[in-house]
Amino acid sequence: MADDKPDTIVVSAGRMSQEHFGTVNTPVYRTSTILHPNLASLKAEKSKRYVYGRRGTPTTTSFEDAISALEGAARTVSLPSGLNAITTAILSVCGAGDHILVTDNCYWPTRQFCGSVLKRFGVETTFYDPLIGEGIAALFRPNTRAVFCESPGSLTFEIQDVPAIAAEAHARGASVLMDNTWGTPIFFPALKRGVDLSIQAGTKYIGGHSDVMVGYVAANESHADRLRDFSGTMGQFLGGDDCFLALRGVRTLAVRLERHQKTALKLARWLETQPQVSRVLYPALESDPGHRLWKRDFLGACGLFGAVLKPVSDGKLAAMMDGLRHFGIGYSWGGYESLIIPAEFVRTARKFEAEGPVIRIHAGLDDPDDLLVDLEAGLKRLG
């Protein structure tokens, strides 16, 4: 499928119709024990595709094969959540005495993991300025084993120069990991941009319906074996029902992202014109500081973006959000529903200057005009 376009890959990859009596979708396998016809077969388990439920079933194979085709990966490991995918990727390349560079605008649980579990395991973390680019070279140490990227960054949406960072890392023998949940492999082909381990919180756009918790790590050829071995040794496994739901989401990923992008652009451009808004954080906008890099490296933008409001009281901010009809107040994103939350974040390497409250918006699959009416009424409540 190397020559197929992503829209075709999401529809056709991972299908196992010939093995399942012509069915379009691979059935859900719920199993632990897999029987062998004889003792010789049992002893030859290393040559068998399926030997025990935790080590894979046709349902997990279908999902992982589809993702590998979409990512251009040598191997994909499916996992119980996006956070588990992040921690699995990091621990597959880092051990006691190692050093890791992590972007300062990463997902908060990633930062928390680095400051707790990694620290306890003897791995030191340095958070770096997401705008550092090739300047990251100055931060490497002899024991730096990995660089962890996230572009655009959680809540503040800075775009990183991932190819430049990857080039510096690889010149020093370090691995490059990336949380690519915002771009997905549709809009940011991470492995082609120099990333070794591409990470997704599949709970978001891969699932697409807010009804499944799933993560995955897709590895290039040089990292495939160590990822597989580490994940297997840790006993990690995603159940058949969750794989089925995630694969169902993959089938419509391309068309959903197109709609999310169209709606988000409409909302973001409108918000830029509103007097209550200081600036909009969305790299697809020409006014965004990261637009040039986004246009160079990305193939599109999803439905998630931020906005910095002008100074306003907590009470008025609550009035704005509490009165919205079509935007739910809740964590996660990437589903069909529109969401809004206030953004709170910790930065240590590069301070993020905000004139007023920062809000994060996810443009769902609602009619964009209805969302605009809702936002307009909400902004009026700010005064």
Can you tell me which residue has the tokens 């652009």? Answer: 265
Catalytic residue among 54, 226, 347, 350: 54
Catalytic residue among 15, 75, 145, 204: 204
Catalytic residue among 161, 179, 196, 288: 179
Which tokens sit at 157?
């949406």
The Cα-based distances of 343 to 113, 233, 311, 331, 360 in angstroms read: 20, 37, 14, 11, 6
Catalytic residue among 29, 107, 128, 205: 107
CA–chain centroid gap for 79, Å, is 13
Count CA atoms within 13 Å of residue 18 on its CB side. 1
Which tokens sit at 156?
């503040």
- The answer to whether 152 and 301 have CB atoms below 8 angstroms apart is no
Residue 52, burial from CB neighbour count under 10 angstroms (0-12, 13-18, 19+): middle
Q: How far apart are CA 5 and CA 348, in angstroms?
A: 40
> Which residues have CB under 8 Å from 233's CB, separation 6+?
none
E runs forming strands in 61-165:
75-79, 99-103, 124-128, 144-150
Closest by Cα among 248, 216, 237, 245 to 32: 237
- The answer to whether 323 and 121 have CB atoms below 8 angstroms apart is no
Question: In the annotation, is 204 catalytic?
Answer: yes
Question: In the annotation, is 107 catalytic?
Answer: yes
Q: How far apart are CA 302 and CA 186, in angstroms?
A: 10
Q: Please give the positions annotated as active site.
A: 54, 107, 179, 204
